[in-house]
C-alpha cells in the first residue's frame, strides 16, 4: 500500500472542498504544492494521480478527468464509483429533488439532436411521476405526496442549487445543460442508458455534431472534430464515408486557434524574460541611439538595409 504524503492529501482536499476544477486551476494547485509544473513533468503528475487513485479505490472513489462538452476544457474531480442505497444517504438533496434532476438528465441525454441542453421552461415542467416505476406512475394513487406537492417555486430553487453545485449548468443562451460534475460522475449511467458516444474519444456525445447523412448515427464532439481537422486536410464520416458539413470553415477555426495559442505563448515568453536579459536589450538600444547621431551619414546610405521588418510583413514573404 502506498503511503500518501501531505501533498497528496492537499490535492484530494482541494477537489473535495471546491468541487470539480478546470485543468488550469488544478495544475496551479499542483504547482503550489509540489513546486513543479505539470506541463513539464507530466510523468510525475501522472504518478501522483495514480498513487491517489490506488488509495481512493479502497473506498470506491476515483480522481477522474474529463472534458467539459460545452467549452472543451479538461476538468478534474473526485467521484463515487458505487451507486447504492447507502451512498444515497450522503446526498443533501431530497427525494423529489433527485427525481427532478433525473428527469432533466434524461431529457438532455436522450435528445436525438445532441444539443446538450433543454430550455428552462422545459426543465421546470419535468413531471416527477415519470421517474417512478411504470406500474406506480400509471396509478395516481401510488404517486408519493412529496412528488405531487413539489411546486414550481421548489423546482426553481432546486434548479438553482443544482447549477450552483455543478450538477447542471446554464448555457450562454440561458438553457439548462449538464454540469461538469454530471459529466464526471455519470459516465457509467450514460453507457448503461445507451447514450451514443463520440466517434473520436468514445465519451458520451451529449453535446456533439451529428453526421447529416440520413440513417447515419455517428456523432463527434466539436472540440474533437477541431483537433482532427487541425491535423488533416479533410474529414469524412467513418460511418457513411461522406464529408462533414462546413469542414473547411471548421478547419480554419482550428488552425486559427492553434496560431492564437502560439502567439499567446510567445507573448508570455517575452513578458517573463529574465530581467538581466531585458536590461541588456535596453542598454544595447541606448548605445545604438548614441552611435546613431555620430554616424548619420552612414545611416542615410544604409537606410534601405536597416528598415524594420514587422511581424506582419515577415508573414507575407
- Give mean pLDDT in consecutive 10-residue pieces for the chain, a chain of 317 residues: 86 95 96 94 96 94 95 94 67 91 94 93 92 60 84 96 95 95 92 91 93 86 83 70 60 51 44 46 48 40 38 34
Q: Which residues contact 274 (CB under 8 A, 6 or more apart)?
A: none
Grid cell listed for 185: 460522475
Please give the pLDDT value at position 306. Answer: 39
**Closest alpha carbon to 97 in 149, 169, 158:** 158
Predicted confidence at residue 63, as pLDDT, reads 97
Full-prediction pTM beyond 0.75? no
Fold (CATH) for 6-83? 3.90.1150
Domain 209-258 has CATH 3.30.300: no
Tell me what pLDDT residue 307 has. 37
Task: Give the pLDDT confidence score for residue 142 in this predicted structure.
Answer: 79
Residue intervals in the chain for CATH 1.10.10.10: 91-192
Write out the three cell numbers for 175: 438553457
| Level-2 CATH architecture, domain 91-192 | Orthogonal Bundle (1.10)
Could you report how far apart the first and last alpha carbons of the chain are, in Å?
61
CATH 3.90.1150.220 residue spans of the chain: 6-83
Task: Kindly report, as residue ranges, where domains of CATH 3.30.40 are found in the chain.
Answer: 209-258
pLDDT value of position 291: 46
Neighbour count for residue 30 (Cβ, 10 Å): 23
Amino acid at each position: 500500500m502506498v503511503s500518501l504524503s501531505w501533498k497528496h492529501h492537499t490535492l484530494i482536499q482541494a477537489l473535495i472542498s471546491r468541487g470539480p476544477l478546470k485543468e488550469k486551476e488544478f495544475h496551479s494547485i499542483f504547482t503550489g504544492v509540489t513546486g513543479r509544473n505539470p506541463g513539464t513533468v507530466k510523468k510525475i503528475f501522472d504518478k501522483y494521480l495514480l498513487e491517489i487513485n490506488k488509495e481512493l479505490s479502497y473506498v470506491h472513489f476515483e480522481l477522474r478527468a474529463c472534458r467539459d462538452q460545452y467549452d472543451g476544457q479538461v476538468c478534474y474531480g473526485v467521484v463515487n464509483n458505487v451507486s447504492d442505497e447507502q451512498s444515497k444517504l450522503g446526498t443533501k438533496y431530497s427525494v423529489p429533488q433527485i427525481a427532478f434532476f433525473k428527469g432533466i438528465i434524461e431529457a438532455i441525454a436522450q435528445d436525438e439532436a445532441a444539443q446538450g441542453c433543454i430550455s428552462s421552461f422545459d426543465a421546470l415542467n419535468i413531471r416527477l411521476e415519470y421517474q417512478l416505476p411504470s406500474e406506480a406512475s400509471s396509478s395516481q394513487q401510488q404517486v408519493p405526496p412529496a412528488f405531487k406537492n413539489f411546486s414550481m417555486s421548489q423546482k426553481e430553487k432546486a434548479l438553482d442549487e443544482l447549477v450552483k453545485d455543478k450538477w447542471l449548468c446554464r448555457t450562454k443562451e440561458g438553457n439548462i445543460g449538464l454540469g461538469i460534475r454530471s459529466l464526471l460522475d455519470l459516465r457509467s449511467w450514460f453507457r448503461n442508458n445507451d447514450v451514443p458516444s463520440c466517434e473520436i474519444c468514445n465519451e458520451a456525445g451529449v453535446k456533439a455534431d451529428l453526421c447529416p447523412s440520413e440513417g447515419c448515427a455517428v456523432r463527434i464532439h466539436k472540440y474533437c472534430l477541431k483537433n482532427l481537422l487541425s491535423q488533416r486536410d479533410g474529414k469524412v464520416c467513418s460511418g457513411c464515408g461522406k464529408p462533414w458539413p462546413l469542414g473547411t470553415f471548421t478547419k480554419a477555426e482550428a488552425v486559427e486557434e492553434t496560431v492564437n495559442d502560439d502567439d499567446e505563448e510567445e507573448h508570455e515568453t517575452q513578458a517573463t524574460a529574465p530581467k538581466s536579459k531585458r536590461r541588456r536589450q535596453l542598454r544595447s538600444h541606448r548605445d545604438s541611439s548614441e552611435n546613431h547621431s555620430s554616424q548619420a551619414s552612414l545611416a542615410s546610405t544604409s537606410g534601405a538595409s536597416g528598415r524594420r521588418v514587422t511581424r506582419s510583413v515577415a508573414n507575407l514573404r
